[in-house]
């Protein structure tokens, strides 16, 4: 095992922490059912903690089986009226929600960062604005559904059960709720166990928007709550974003039922750097591809494929750039790499990184000050990686990039496609025709040329192969929530 350490250049940044004094969090959040916050039936509350400090932030209800039943009853009761509402009126509610998210964006960003550990710069500039944009986009679809899916007559499905992960808590809630509601469904959303707070603030926003009770239910809880939700009678559609293992369980659990399903699962996305790329720009893109949100990104560019002729140069530039990444207090506006979301996730990263070393890859981890409390993992680069190594095959979901090389374009495509996943890919080249050719050959749902981790509500997102099925974003995002009548 070799952990290369080096003295990083000291950049004197004064701390620039975002203030949290305007945040009005309650000590305790119940389940949001029937338009109001309620105690769970079995009275269980758990603390949600700040992963950067390990301090509890608030107590949050943990929904049990009885709560799932109550949630479905309330949603079923709300459904007929919501589905029958004039479509433009439905749109107006969603526009209101979009506006309220914008109004409360600073508060939402701070809470997102406190609860999940991601740098404030990211929650402020990416998560929250995109969440608002998503509601705004789908609000406008509410009265244009038949154009979106090319069908003269469509109907909503009914009650949808939605489970979102902890990496983009509010944004994923928006990706799920906005199209579901626009199509006339009512939704029961289960936020992730470690990051329930912004979804609960979104529940407050639903109240503020005077959304009819039962149209949106927020049911915090753990995996067992989610398992109960997807199996609950009265659920017409399930939408899940999370790991492939859980997605597989859900698909099997719904076998033989008429419950519709879409899955957005894991990835091991290839980020391909060709020798004719603008290398400095590519290095920025590699960093954004894998270290954005501590690598807790399903489409993270975790397999870096570099053309052999520029391998040494790219790795040298990348390693130098990695040394400038600022790891630490997520609330600091200069922080690049925040806290790992949970102790459990940190352990998973450590296990896979250890496997990488055991299997013979060369590890380099940036030497930087690690805060005393909280969960942290310094940016890490693996070279001498073989395509069979676990670090080249399994999703790490952390700030760890595995470098592979290629000689020809054909080899790059073959290596990139050699994965059971197919969520995303990056291409770095300044040659347009090559970019188009490679993009069309990659078996991945999203392909970025000379950029990475770029999202937009108008652009479909979702995977090939074991990265799931169904799309979110744009008109394609309407299909999973509609029944085509004719």
Partner 1 sequence: MTRLAVRKTYKLYIGGAFVRSESGRYDEAGGVNYPRASRKDVRDAIAAARKAAGPWAARTAYNRGQILYRAAEALESNRGRFVSGQEVDAAVDVLLHYAGWTDKLQSVLGGINPVAAPFLSFSLPEPTGVVGVIASDAPPLLGLIAEISPVLAAGNVVVAILSETEPLPGLDLAEVLGVSDVPGGVVNLLSGRRQELATALGAHRDLNAIVDATGDPGLATELDKLAAETIKRVRHGAAATSYEEAVGDALERLEAVTELKTAWHPVGA
- For position 413 contacting partner 1 by CB under 8 A, the verdict is no
Q: Are 262 and 247 in contact (CB under 8 A)?
A: no
308 is catalytic: no
Using CB under 8 A, which of 118, 474, 478, 481 touches partner 1?
474
Closest-CA residue to 452 (of 486, 425, 416, 413) = 425
User: How many residues comprise the chain?
Assistant: 486
Q: What's the token pair of residue 57?
A: 């932030």
206 is catalytic: no
- For position 444 contacting partner 1 by CB under 8 A, the verdict is yes
204 sits in which H/E element:
helix 197-208
Cα 164 to Cα 67: distance, rounded to the nearest angstrom? 18
- For position 196 contacting partner 1 by CB under 8 A, the verdict is no
Cα 181 to Cα 191: distance, rounded to the nearest angstrom? 17
Q: What's the token pair of residue 478?
A: 């309407």
- For position 409 contacting partner 1 by CB under 8 A, the verdict is no
Looking at residue 21, the DSSP 8-state letter turns out to be T
Using CB under 8 A, which of 81, 407, 420, 431 touches partner 1?
420
Q: What's the token pair of residue 449?
A: 């040329």
Looking at residue 9, the DSSP 8-state letter turns out to be P
Helix/strand/coil for 111: helix
- # residues contacting partner 1 (CB under 8 A): 49
Using CB under 8 A, which of 252, 260, 274, 379 touches partner 1?
252
Using CB under 8 A, which of 170, 201, 219, 263 touches partner 1?
263
Q: Which is nearer to partner 1, 130 or 189 (CB)?
A: 130
Closest-CA residue to 370 (of 327, 321, 319) = 327
Using CB under 8 A, which of 27, 255, 372, 388 touches partner 1?
255
Q: Which is nearer to partner 1, 241 or 467 (CB)?
A: 467
Count of H helices and E strands in the chain?
Answer: 16, 22
Q: Which is nearer to partner 1, 133 or 203 (CB)?
A: 133
Cα 469 to Cα 465: distance, rounded to the nearest angstrom? 8
Q: Are 184 and 83 in contact (CB under 8 A)?
A: yes
Residue numbers 95-154 binding partner 1 by CB under 8 A:
133, 150-151
* CA distance between the termini of the chain: 62
Residue 428, beta-bridge partner list: 273
Q: Which is nearer to partner 1, 25 or 460 (CB)?
A: 460
Q: Closest separation between CB of residue 461 and partner 1, Å? A: 7
| DSSP secondary structure of 152-172 | S-EEE-SEEEEE--SSSHHHH
- For position 445 contacting partner 1 by CB under 8 A, the verdict is yes
Residue numbers 450-469 binding partner 1 by CB under 8 A:
450-451, 454, 456, 458-462, 464-469
Stretch that binds partner 1, among 115-123, 253-261, 331-339, 359-367 (CB under 8 A): 253-261
Q: Which is nearer to partner 1, 341 or 467 (CB)?
A: 467
- For position 439 contacting partner 1 by CB under 8 A, the verdict is yes
Q: Closest separation between CB of residue 200 and partner 1, Å? A: 28
What lies within 8 Å, CB to CB, of 17 at 6+ separation is 329, 331, 332, 333
Site string for partner 1, 147-186 (x = CB under 8 A): ---xx-----------------------------------
Q: Are 299 and 448 in contact (CB under 8 A)?
A: no
- For position 265 contacting partner 1 by CB under 8 A, the verdict is yes
- For position 245 contacting partner 1 by CB under 8 A, the verdict is no
Cα 158 to Cα 236: distance, rounded to the nearest angstrom? 6
Q: What's the token pair of residue 389?
A: 């190594």
Alpha-carbon dihedral sign for residues 262, 264, 269, 271: positive
- For position 247 contacting partner 1 by CB under 8 A, the verdict is yes
Stretch that binds partner 1, among 74-82, 210-218, 317-325, 476-484 (CB under 8 A): 476-484
Catalytic residue (one of 193, 264, 395, 466): 264
Q: Closest separation between CB of residue 455 and partner 1, Å? A: 9
Catalytic residue (one of 112, 183, 193, 298): 298
Which residues of this chain interact with partner 1, rule CB under 8 A? Answer: 133, 150-151, 244, 247-249, 251-252, 254-256, 263, 265, 420, 432, 435-436, 439-440, 444-451, 454, 456, 458-462, 464-469, 471, 473-476, 479, 484, 486
Residues with a known catalytic role: 264, 298
């Amino acid at each position: 095992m070799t952990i290369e350490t080096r003295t990083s250049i000291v950049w004197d940044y004064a701390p620039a922490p975002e203030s949290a004094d305007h945040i009005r969090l309650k000590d305790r959040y119940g389940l949001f059912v029937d338009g109001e916050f309620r105690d769970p039936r079995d009275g269980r509350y758990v603390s949600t903690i700040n992963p950067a400090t390990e301090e509890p932030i608030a107590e949050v209800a943990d929904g049990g089986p009885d709560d799932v039943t109550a949630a479905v009853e309330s949603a079923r009761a709300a459904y007929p009226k919501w589905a029958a509402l004039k479509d433009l009126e439905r749109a107006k509610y969603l526009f209101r929600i979009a506006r309220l998210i914008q109004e409360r964006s600073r508060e939402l960003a701070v809470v997102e960062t406190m609860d999940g550990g991601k740098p404030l710069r990211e929650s402020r500039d990416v998560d929250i604005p995109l969440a608002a944009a998503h509601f705004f986009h789908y609000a406008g679809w509410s009265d244009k559904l038949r154009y979106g899916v090319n069908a003269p007559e469509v109907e909503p499905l009914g009650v949808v059960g939605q489970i979102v992960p902890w990496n983009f808590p509010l944004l994923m809630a928006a990706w799920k709720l906005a199209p579901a509601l626009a199509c006339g469904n009512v939704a029961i959303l289960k936020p992730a166990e470690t990051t329930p707070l912004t979804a609960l603030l979104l529940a407050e926003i639903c109240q503020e928007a005077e959304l009819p009770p039962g149209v949106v239910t927020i049911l915090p809880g753990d995996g067992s709550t989610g398992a109960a939700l997807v199996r609950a009678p009265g659920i017409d559609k399930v939408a899940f974003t999370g790991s492939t293992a859980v997605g597989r369980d859900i698909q099997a659990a719904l076998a033989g039922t008429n419950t519709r399903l879409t899955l957005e699962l894991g990835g091991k996305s290839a980020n391909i750097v060709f020798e004719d790329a603008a290398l400095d720009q590519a290095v920025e893109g590699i960093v954004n591809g894998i270290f954005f949100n501590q690598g807790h990104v399903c489409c993270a560019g975790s397999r870096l494929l570099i053309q052999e002729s520029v391998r040494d140069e790219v790795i040298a530039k990348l390693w130098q750039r990695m040394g400038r990444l600022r790891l630490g207090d997520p609330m600091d506006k200069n922080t690049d790499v925040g806290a790992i979301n949970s102790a459990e996730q940190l352990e998973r990263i450590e296990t896979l990184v250890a496997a990488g070393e055991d299997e013979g890859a060369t590890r380099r981890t940036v030497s930087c000050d690690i805060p005393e409390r909280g969960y942290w993992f310094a940016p890490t680069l693996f070279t001498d990686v073989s395509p069979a190594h676990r670090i080249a095959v399994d999703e790490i979901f952390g700030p760890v990039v595995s470098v592979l090389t290629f000689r020809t374009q054909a080899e790059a495509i073959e290596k990139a496609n050699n994965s059971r996943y197919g969520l995303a890919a990056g291409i770095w080249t300044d040659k347009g025709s090559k970019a188009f050719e490679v993009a069309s050959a990659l078996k991945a749902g999203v392909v970025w040329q000379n950029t990475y981790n770029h999202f937009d509500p108008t652009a479909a997102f979702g995977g090939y192969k074991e990265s799931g099925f169904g799309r979110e974003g744009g008109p394609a995002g309407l299909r999973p929530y509609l029944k085509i009548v004719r």
